[in-house]
């Protein structure tokens, strides 16, 4: 088996606009759909000059919901138990992906 080190990685990027109208660019690092809904884990990109990443391990989890026009919207998760559950799932999946990448 050979490994192609020239394989190009293309990040899936999304731009979010905060309450003040400022745009922030994020990379979608994972998506999950389960009985609780559809969720995305996002990390700020280095291109996003407006954000200061305090911690390299910092990421955000949002719920993806459809508005009345059928457009996808990202919403904050207000249920702390659900947020903790999702964080555990995303972190486990990320750790597994990193292990597979090292092999």
Question: Within a 10 A sphere around the Cβ of 42, how many other Cβ atoms?
Answer: 21
Window from 2-6, 15-19, 33-37, 62-66 with minimum mean pLDDT: 2-6
The predicted-structure confidence for 27-76, as pLDDT tens digits, reads as follows 999 999 999 999 999 998 876 545 454 455 689 999 999 999 999 999 99
Q: In the numeric block, which tokens belong to residue 92?
A: 């486990």
Q: State the average pLDDT over residues 12-41.
A: 93
Q: What angle do CA 46, 9, 62 make, to 5 degrees?
A: 55
Name the percent of the chain lying above pLDDT 70.
81
Rg (CA), the chain: 16
Output the pLDDT for position 98: 83
Strand (E) or helix (H) holding 96? helix 80-102
- pLDDT tier at 20 (50, 70, 90 boundaries)? very high
Interacting residues of 98 by C-beta distance below 8 A, sequence separation 6+: none
Output the pLDDT for position 26: 92
Q: How far is CA 94 from CA 77, 78, 91, 101, in A?
A: 20, 23, 5, 11
- pLDDT tier at 9 (50, 70, 90 boundaries)? low
């Amino acid at each position: 088996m050979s490994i192609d080190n020239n394989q190009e990685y293309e990040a899936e990027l999304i731009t979010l606009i905060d309450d003040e109208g400022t745009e922030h660019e994020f990379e979608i690092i994972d998506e999950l759909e389960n009985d609780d809904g559809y969720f995305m884990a996002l990390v700020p990109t280095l291109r996003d000059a407006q954000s200061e990443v305090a911690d390299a391990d910092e990421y955000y989890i949002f719920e993806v919901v459809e508005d009345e026009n059928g457009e996808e919207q990202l919403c904050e998760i207000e249920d702390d138990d659900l947020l903790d559950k999702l964080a555990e799932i995303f972190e486990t999946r990320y750790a597994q992906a990193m292990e597979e990448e090292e092999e």
